[in-house]
Amino acid sequence: MTRPNSTKIVRAAPAALAVAALALSLAACKKEAAPPEVVATASETSEATEVAEMSVEDWIRTNYKDAVSSDLGTLQYATAEVDLDGDGTPEVLAYLGGPMMCGTGGCNLVVLKRDGTGFRKMGEVSVVQLPVGVLDSKSHGWRDLAVTVSGGGMPEGTKRLPFDGKAYPENATVQPAGDSDTIGKTLISADDLKPFE
């Protein structure tokens, strides 16, 4: 007499053993203790913050290294801070002058927004003369800038620079820059320029 179910029992045994072994190994994993949580002390946290913060000068040095170390002459610069987007944190305006940054119509004005430990460029406007100011009017939630223009065949005047939702205009003498009858509150004047060291 044959046993029809004996083959099934023998085949099922290895599978049952494999499942049992897997269950035991998983149970053993759960018993291991979690590694201790790492907590930074107050002094370690403040030191890390101090090291991670980028200064405006560091940003200029990183992004305009050719202008900083030019044989043609020294980079001149001036900075000002003003809250342009109304979030309570001031943005930085950096006026960059010198042979590598200027033409007959003026120099470059860079608008920087603090972004974590560094800065994000919100516009670089060419052919800007001093003074540079800020207006009470807004475009896309950001205050309009006012800059002086002259030279390069252009009559002296004041231009309003609106924010377009992403950046300020690239050139102070073409649209969307428009005429302004005031410089508003002066942020950077010619007296503020100093050599970049």
Domain boundaries, the chain: 54-195
Residue 54's pLDDT is what?
92
Interior angle at CA 174, CA 104 and CA 190, nearest 5: 45
Dump pLDDT digits (tens) for 25-47: 434 444 444 444 444 444 444 44
Percent of the chain exceeding pLDDT 90 equals: 62
Q: What is the mean pLDDT of residues 109-121?
A: 95
Q: How far apart are CA 161 and CA 146, in angstroms?
A: 6
Residue 31's pLDDT is what?
44
Dump pLDDT digits (tens) for 63-104: 998 888 777 888 999 999 999 999 999 999 999 998 889 999
Amino acid code (one letter) for 171: N
pLDDT at residue 140 greater than cutoff 50: yes
Q: What is the mean pLDDT of residues 13-17?
A: 45
Contact 184, 160 (CB under 8 A): no
Q: What is the mean pLDDT of residues 143-170?
A: 95
Reported confidence tier of residue 52, pLDDT bands at 50, 70, 90: low
Q: How far apart are CA 78 and CA 193, in angstroms?
A: 5
Pairwise pLDDT comparison (62 vs 16), residue with the higher score: 62
Residue 32's pLDDT is what?
44
Pairwise pLDDT comparison (28 vs 54), residue with the higher score: 54
φ, ψ of residue 164 in degrees (nearest 5): -100, 10
| Inter-CA distances, 130 with 71, 106, 171, 188, 194, Å | 25, 8, 15, 7, 14
Residue 19's pLDDT is what?
42
pTM of the model: 0.72
pLDDT averaged over the chain? 81
R_g (Cα) of the chain, nearest Å: 32
